[in-house]
Amino acid sequence: MSKKLKNLSEDEAARKIKALRQEIEAHNYSYYTLDKPEVTDAEYDRLMRSLVALEEEYPALITPDSPTQRVGARPLDTFGQVRHTLPMLSLANAFSVEEAAKFDERIKKILKLPADYLMEYAAEPKMDGLAVELVYEDGTLTRASTRGDGVSGEDVTENIRTIKSIPQDLRAAGAKRGGAVPPLLEARGEVIMPLSGFKKLNKEREASGEALFANPRNAAAGALRQLDPAVTASRRLDIYFYGVGIVEGVDFKTHMESLQFLRAMGLKFNPYARIIKGLDEVYAYFEEIREKRETLDYELDGTVIKVNDLSLQTRLGQTARSPKWALAYKFAPMQEQTLLLRIDVSVGRTGALTPVAILEPVELAGVTVGRATLHNEDEVLRKDVRPGDTVIIERAGDVIPEVVCVATSPQERAAPFTMPDKCPVCASPVEKTGAIHYCIAGLGCPAQLKKSIEHFCSKKALDITGLGAKAVENFVDKGLLKDVAGIYELTKEKILSLGEGWAELSASNLLASIEASKKPPLASFIFALGIKGVGERTASVLARRFRSIETLMEAELPELLDLSDIGPLIAPGIKEFFSEERNRAVIDKLRAAGLRPLPPPESEGVLKGKTFLFTGALSTISREEAKRLVQSAGGDTASSVSKRLNYLVVGEKPGSKLKKAREMHVTILTEEEFLSMVKKSVAVD
Ligand code: IVH
């Protein structure tokens, strides 16, 4: 190929490059903005590769707006300043129904409309990221800046170019709708970091000992303010546009028209934006978005209500800070202040001791919070929180509430926190490994015993229904369960002797579920044992390599270290677990009770070496069943989209994994395709 390219004249190469870029930009638009890809991933790759090859031959023709440059241009020394043509204003806030009503009332008063008039609003989610302005001249992205102080912001053009949903050139989309692009378009929007990316980023930072980002907004701001655009590119940001600055040559009558125009140009707005009428719909919209919020892969902090008619907006005008025609109607804050009553220490399944803040109960985003995690001793000392202090607590999305910092403390403070040197549950000695303190009693500690039994019975382990946290607590406290093997010695009499709501039927159901758990896949059994560091994936790797619990029990360290997914941190833990007399005795008892884990299929299976991930609801089988099918056919399951993943199986209402998988060119399967693939492979076995 490169030989042929060399024969091109510079002019021909330039023409070819231009055509390829336009074609790629058009596909980016269909894919990222319309969510309707028009070519296969392979075809897209082919175009991209041709462009890369051409640009390599003719480096002088590389321009920063080429789709190949999204991986990030050269690092900068410092950010330039950009003055916004029109100031980027802020929004007036409302936190209650009353404040929202006042806004609606005030507007009608200024406009001399009757009090019962149903005002038309454009309603949008208020995204929690950071505001940017993009300037397109004759369709080409020439400048992008942060809001800054509203008058001028920082030049983040090169970083903005790395965001995949931002077109470098509007002509691709403009051409599609058969219209011309305006000579000047200033588009404003919110750059966000999806929650999935945020969690992943913090996990990586934790692993490498870097400071964690407090929330996705800070992480997005951090990513956008990188001097090296390659770092921004690796952080996978996204953007939703919510308005325009100056647009030459186009007249809009309403705000919604301006959003639709942006979309036609390839600049997407939030899919939940729509027109509503009157105050009741303002409330209903707010409730709707508040519910939606839990399901979205990005954070919202409220809704924004804007008078839709632009001529009315002009009549309403603005203050120095914010327009009078718009309102940020916000959710109750996710941060609150409350009194720290004391610090308890809880003991987890692996014996890890976690300091827990016991708080004066406070309402936080609709949930009453009385406890928050303090992670470990170092964290408590670093934040220097002590009983009697007023602390700031935070709940981000579905994350457990945590203590962020001390807000105020009394003149006379309590003594600094220290970790107890004895387990608060069983009084056994405590040992520190890394940042974590552990109770050394293992299953001899009732707290660890209860949590281990719960884990053993959980869905992904032996899937015994009827033995949840409360039931297990009862069985252990009454001395009916001393280890997991005791589950198989339960009789109807023993269960009924507990009282506590147990009756004939529930007892028989529990016994039936226990009986049904006696032939688990080996991987589920290994996972159920609760070996430190052995999650679902590692358990399945071990099952495939050792094929029986007896062989695994005798495995030597080098054999364990040989396995691709088992590192030097986990392998010694596995060895240690199986050399403990107590653990060996429990496994013997389980065998004696009739437990017979099933090894993965003998043959290699058609799915060997293939990794699957599921998203959305499957209609004919449960997700757990689907995972087991994969494993029994010799395949692997993953928990997130990565380069390692071969197939994403998509059920109903798929989540953000689908988009990510497409971006990474992972093969997408429907449930039907998946099932026929598994059946084939099982039949072959
Ligand atoms: S409109 C003059 N719409 O909220 C009105 N802003 O508190 C300009 N934001 O700086 C803003 N989602 O960063 C608007 N749908 C939305 C928004 C939104 C998030 C942010 C934006 C702005 C801040 C104001």
Q: What is the pLDDT of residue 77?
A: 60
Q: What pLDDT, in 10s, does the model give residues 646-673?
A: 999 998 888 888 888 888 888 999 998 8
CB of 190 closer than 6 angstroms to any ligand 1 atom: yes
Compute φ and ψ for 185, nearest 5 degrees.
-135, 120
CATH 2.40.50.140 residue ranges for the chain:
335-419
- How many degrees, rounded to 5, is the angle at CA 456 between CA 455 and CA 457? 90
328 CA closest ligand 1 atom index: 7
CATH 1.10.287.610 residue ranges for the chain:
3-69
Hey, how many other C-beta atoms are within 10 angstroms of the C-beta on 318? 14
CB of 242 closer than 6 angstroms to any ligand 1 atom: yes
Residue 187, phi-psi category: left (phi > 0), alpha (psi -120 to 50), beta (remainder): beta
CB of 90 closer than 6 angstroms to any ligand 1 atom: yes
Between CA 244 and CA 188 the distance in angstroms is 5
Q: What is the overall mean pLDDT for the chain?
A: 88
| Record: fold of 335-419 | OB fold (Dihydrolipoamide Acetyltransferase, E2P) (2.40.50)
Q: What pLDDT, in 10s, does the model give residues 79-121?
A: 888 889 999 988 998 988 999 999 999 999 999 999 999 999 9
Closest to 364 (Cα-Cα) out of 324, 330, 396, 342: 396
Between CA 163 and CA 237 the distance in angstroms is 6
226 alpha carbon to ligand 1 midpoint, in Å? 23
Q: What is the pLDDT of residue 122?
A: 98
CB of 220 closer than 6 angstroms to any ligand 1 atom: no
- Whole-model pTM: value is 0.53
Q: What pLDDT, in 10s, does the model give residues 335-394?
A: 888 999 999 999 998 899 999 999 999 988 667 899 998 988 998 998 899 999 999 898
Q: What is the pLDDT of residue 6?
A: 56
Q: Is residue 184 over pLDDT 70?
A: yes
Q: Best mutation site among 242, 301, 331 for ligand 1, i.e. most ligand atoms within 8 A of its Cβ?
A: 242
Q: For residue 611, what are the β-bridge partners?
A: 636
- How many degrees, rounded to 5, is the angle at CA 48 between CA 46 and CA 50? 70
Tokens 């940042």 sit on residue: 435
253 alpha carbon to ligand 1 midpoint, in Å? 20
Q: Is residue 24 over pLDDT 80?
A: yes
CB of 147 closer than 6 angstroms to any ligand 1 atom: yes
140 alpha carbon to ligand 1 midpoint, in Å? 24
User: Contact 346/436 with Cβ under 8 angstroms?
Assistant: no
Alpha carbon distance, N-terminus to C-terminus of the chain: 43
Q: What is the pLDDT of residue 284?
A: 97
323 CA closest ligand 1 atom index: 2
* Ligand 1 atom 18, closest CA: 126
90 alpha carbon to ligand 1 midpoint, in Å? 7
Hey, how many other C-beta atoms are within 10 angstroms of the C-beta on 241? 23
CB of 5 closer than 6 angstroms to any ligand 1 atom: no
483 alpha carbon to ligand 1 midpoint, in Å? 56
The DSSP result for 48-117, as a single string, is HHHHHHHHHH-GGG--TTSGGGGG--PPPSSPPEEE-SS-----EEE-SHHHHHHHHHHHHHHTT--TT-
Alpha helices in 351-503 (DSSP H): 377-383, 446-457, 469-477, 492-497
Between CA 250 and CA 261 the distance in angstroms is 9
CB of 450 closer than 6 angstroms to any ligand 1 atom: no
Q: What pLDDT, in 10s, does the model give residues 522-578?
A: 999 999 998 887 888 789 889 988 999 999 999 998 888 766 567 777 888 899 999
130 alpha carbon to ligand 1 midpoint, in Å? 9
326 CA closest ligand 1 atom index: 5
CATH class name, domain 92-330: alpha beta
Q: Which three-class secondary structure state does DSSP give residue 385?
A: coil
Q: What is the pLDDT of residue 141?
A: 95
* Ligand 1 atom 12, closest CA: 126
CB of 323 closer than 6 angstroms to any ligand 1 atom: yes
Closest to 133 (Cα-Cα) out of 63, 65, 86: 86
Q: What is the pLDDT of residue 4?
A: 45
| Record: fold of 3-69 | Helix Hairpins (1.10.287)
CATH architecture assigned to 611-678:
3-Layer(aba) Sandwich (3.40)
Question: Which residues, 6+ apart, have CB-to-CB distance to 477 below 8 Å?
Answer: 446
CB of 127 closer than 6 angstroms to any ligand 1 atom: yes
Between CA 129 and CA 220 the distance in angstroms is 7
The residues annotated as belonging to the active site are 126
CB of 89 closer than 6 angstroms to any ligand 1 atom: yes
* Higher per-residue confidence, 521 vs 207: 521
CB of 189 closer than 6 angstroms to any ligand 1 atom: no
Burial class (CB in 10 A: 0-12, 13-18, 19+), 450: buried
Hey, how many other C-beta atoms are within 10 angstroms of the C-beta on 521? 19
CATH 3.40.50.10190 residue ranges for the chain:
611-678
* Ligand 1 atom 13, closest CA: 131
Between CA 333 and CA 672 the distance in angstroms is 44
CB of 124 closer than 6 angstroms to any ligand 1 atom: yes
Tokens read off for 120? 């038309």
306 alpha carbon to ligand 1 midpoint, in Å? 10
Closest to 632 (Cα-Cα) out of 606, 613, 614, 670: 606
Q: Best mutation site among 84, 88, 91 for ligand 1, i.e. most ligand atoms within 8 A of its Cβ?
A: 91
Between CA 89 and CA 46 the distance in angstroms is 44
Q: Best mutation site among 190, 274, 305, 313 for ligand 1, i.e. most ligand atoms within 8 A of its Cβ?
A: 190
Q: Which three-class secondary structure state does DSSP give residue 50?
A: helix
* Mean pLDDT (whole number) for 412-441: 92
* Higher per-residue confidence, 608 vs 669: 669
